[in-house]
Amino acid sequence: MSIKQISVFLENKPGQLNEMTRVLAEGNIDMRALSLAETKDFGIARMIVDDVFQATNVLKEADFVASLTPVLAFAIPDEPGGLNHLLQSFTDAGVNIEYMYAFLGGKDANHAYMIFRVADTKAAEAALAAKGLKSIDQEKICQI
């Protein structure tokens, strides 16, 4: 089951990331994971949050350009080789990864969590499920 990632386009200038996090903090949004990519003129903040609907609303009210993207999330053992084992399953299933990022579990110190963007989320999820892997759903990711 895919989860929703929020992507926010930010002008590449001082204070923009701070302003985005201020808006989220004032909206009582808890970020679970954050990735930032940049170019010369703009950046893209990609994040997993506890309340996608509220986060999207407060960002748009503050004139941020935000979009939702389906991504896959998997728990991996926080130990040497944990990520390698998961990536081998992606390879075996023929799933190409466009980008990924990680975060550590808050209450579950024994796992790390990986977020994956792939071209076809549903097909990738089916192929990975056939290999015995179950992705994390939106409800579970909000409880981590």
Q: 8-26: buried (b, 16+ CB within 10 Å) or exposed (e) per residue? A: bebeeeeebbeebeebbee
| Cα 106 from Cα 32, distance rounded (Å) | 9
Answer CATH for 71-139 from 3.30.2130.10, 2.170.130.10, 3.40.50.10860, 3.40.50.150: 3.30.2130.10
- Note the CATH number of domain 3-69: 3.30.2130.10
Give the residue range(s) of CATH 3.30.2130.10 domains in the chain.
3-69, 71-139
Task: Give the integer Cα–Cα distance in Å for 114 and 69.
Answer: 15
CB contact at 8 A, 13 and 79: no
CB 9 within 8 A of CB 17: no
pLDDT in tens, the chain (144 residues): 899 999 999 998 899 999 999 999 999 999 999 999 988 788 999 999 999 999 999 999 999 999 999 999 999 888 899 899 999 999 999 999 999 999 886 666 678 899 999 999 999 999 999 988 889 988 888 777
pTM: 0.90
